[in-house]
Amino acid sequence: MSWHPQYRSSKFRHVYGKPASKEKCYDCVPITRNVHDNHFCAVNPHFIAVVTECAGGGAFLVIPIHQTGKLDPHYPKICGHKGNVLDIKWNPFNDFVIASCSEDATVKIWDIPKHLLTRNITTPKKELLGHVRRVGLIEWHPTANNILFSSGYDYKIMIWNLDTKEAVISKPVKILDVHKDVVLSMSFNTDGSLLATACRDRKIRLVDPRAGTVLQEASYKSHRVNKVLFLGNMKKLFSTGTSRWNNRQIALWDQNDLSVPLLEEDLDGSSGLLFPFYDSDTHMLYVVGKGDGNIRYYEISCEKPYLNYLMEYRSHLPQKGIGVMPKRGLEVSACEIFRFYKLVPTKSLIEPISMIVPRRSESYQEDIYPLTTGAQPALTAQEWLSGINKGPLLVSLRPGSGAMNSLPQFLEPEPLMKTTDLSQHQGCGGKMPLEESQKPSETEESRKKLKVEEKLVKNEQMCHSGDFDIFECPPPKTENELLQMFYRQREEIRRLRELIIQRDVQIKQLELEIKNICTDPGSY
């Protein structure tokens, strides 16, 4: 193992891992016993999905992200597969759509309801039939909407366009038949124009997915690759695997020259797989060991030594799989820059682990939260298939900077106060000259009224933000939580009453002003 410098100037040098308290963990979750080398967990700001044990087929659970604590043993499952579920991935542009693949050689797309599940879901939204052997990997395209990649044990990668009305799709738009063995890992570059794969023949390939051609191929004998990852816009690839002596090993590659790695490093002699995760906003790389409780993290730089070791999070609880929360679901007020969801099958537990930058200030830290990938697609499926490339649409994580929902939002115009002719009011019939002479004062008054209305609407929205919702406010589990909810709702009722009284006063004032204008003879 190489020597790591003790001191280095970096704002992320003191990042530490903070495990969630027991109340914020997910307990009594029947995690799968499958030995397939996948994450078995997928997370978004609304749900956590985890592959589970199920008799007579494959299934997975979808739990609201705030519904922590003990899970009901009879909690409904998503159980439409005939074989074990091997991989699950949330749609990056719709938090209520998830894809799953299985040993039954199918890929299924599921619609998850917004309300709490009350029964098992067995009918998928779409079913993709193309592979002849089990499907081990699925990946959504990072910038194009409704483009899904699947990889099976038939050595083929299939590209699917889900922008169709058909419930069963049997013909993929493209088949990549460039591998001689099972694909172990797939990773896209930032705009999704290139695909990196790791194969069981121990080679890394850089593929143009639309042309179906191999651009680069690494056949380096000393590094037997298992997982490969694009490092954002750094034009580099990162891989994990084993050395000739079966030590766990990491390697860094130049995207344009895969003949020899830029860097190669042995970690330890454990036998478990290493899962890599990269945060392009902070240029931090996380390496998670399967079968142990360790998470190593590094900082990537453009210059040598490229890989700068920061710290290691250690735990006595071994992880079988891991899920990662997208950046838009993090708690920026706590300076959280990454969040893992660790699967511990020995305790039937899912434990969130937050990676935190220690800061004294409670204000928004703009230097650690640059613009990040949002929840809106940059391209349609047809645009990407036609050859267009476009980077992801970026958003700010600053609270109140804009909507972070991954569902398309249709903004309705705010209810504006209609300006009525004075002739419609009592005692004001047939006085057009009067109306014209009063136009400037009326426009000023209408502007004031609009400002008042906008303020009232904003206040109402603020007050209604505490309405009962399974995502924002999970059902109370203890007497203390019930009391807190009761007091909060009582406070909201009090505020609403105050708003109604204010509005009544404003209405009366406006009525008096209108009456005075209509009846005052000095205004002619």
Is residue 68's pLDDT more than 90? yes
pLDDT at 491 (0 to 100):
80
Predicted local confidence at residue 85, as pLDDT: 94
Q: Where are the domains of the chain?
A: 16-373
Helix (H) or strand (E) holding 196: strand 195-199
**Confidence band for 305, pLDDT divided at 50, 70 and 90:** confident
- Sheet of 274-279, strand order: 274-279, 284-289, 295-300, 307-313
**249-258: long-range contacts, CB 8 A cutoff, minimum separation 24:** 249/223, 250/274, 250/276, 250/287, 250/307, 251/220, 251/223, 251/225, 252/306, 252/307, 253/204, 253/218, 255/194, 255/206, 255/216, 255/230, 256/216, 257/216, 258/204, 258/206, 258/216, 258/217, 258/218, 258/220
Q: What is the mean pLDDT of residues 223-234?
A: 92
Mean pLDDT (whole number) for 19-39? 92
Share of the chain above pLDDT 70, in %: 83
C-alpha distances out from residue 516 to 54, 318, 365, 436, 504, Å = 76, 78, 53, 17, 18
**In which band, very low, low, confident or very high, does the pLDDT at 148 lie, cut at 50, 70 and 90?**
very high
E-strand spans in 396-524? none
Average pLDDT over the chain, rounded to an integer: 84
Q: For position 515, what pLDDT does the model report?
A: 82
CATH H-level superfamily of 16-373 = YVTN repeat-like/Quinoprotein amine dehydrogenase (2.130.10.10)
User: In degrees rounded to 5, what are phi and psi of residue 34?
Assistant: -60, 140
pLDDT > 70? residue 2: no
Please state the pTM of the whole predicted model: 0.76
In the chain, % of residues over pLDDT 90: 63
Range 437-461 average pLDDT: 47
Among 21-25, 379-383, 421-425, 456-460, the range scoring the smallest mean pLDDT is 421-425
Per-residue confidence (pLDDT) for residue 219, from 0 to 100: 80
**What are the pLDDT digits (tens) for 393-441?**
999 999 887 645 444 433 333 333 333 343 343 344 443 333 343 444 4
Name the pLDDT band for 181 (thresholds 50, 70, 90).
Answer: very high
pLDDT of residue 482: 79
pLDDT-wise least confident of 30-39, 189-198, 210-219, 444-453: 444-453
- pLDDT classification of 98: cutoffs 50, 70, 90: very high
Question: Is 346's pLDDT higher than 50?
Answer: yes
Is the pLDDT score of 131 beyond 50? yes
Structure tokens at 327: 């950046």
| Rounded Cα gap, residues 288 and 323, in angstroms | 11
> Quick check: 61 pLDDT over 80?
yes
More confident of the two residues 385 and 439: 385
**Model confidence over 460-503: pLDDT tens digits?**
444 444 444 444 456 666 777 777 788 778 888 988 988 898 88
pLDDT for residue 23 is more than 80: yes
The pLDDT-based confidence of 30 (bands split at 50, 70, 90) is very high
Dihedral of CA atoms 180, 186, 190, 194 in degrees, nearest 10, equals 10
- Determine the pLDDT at residue 271: 82
DSSP-derived 3-state class of residue 92: coil
DSSP calls for 361-424: --S--TTT---EE-SS-SB-HHHHHTT---PPPEE--STTSS---SS---PPPP-PPPPPPGGG
Residue 220's pLDDT band, with cuts at 50, 70 and 90, is confident
Residue 93 CA to residue 406 CA, distance in Å, equals: 5
Does pLDDT of 368 surpass 90? yes
pLDDT for the residue 521: 60
Q: Which residue has the higher pLDDT, 126 or 476?
A: 126
pLDDT for the residue numbered 4? 52
| Residue 12 and residue 357 in contact, taking contact as beta carbons nearer than 8 Å | yes
Instruction: Please state the rounded mean pLDDT for residues 267-273.
Output: 87
pLDDT at 291 over 60: yes
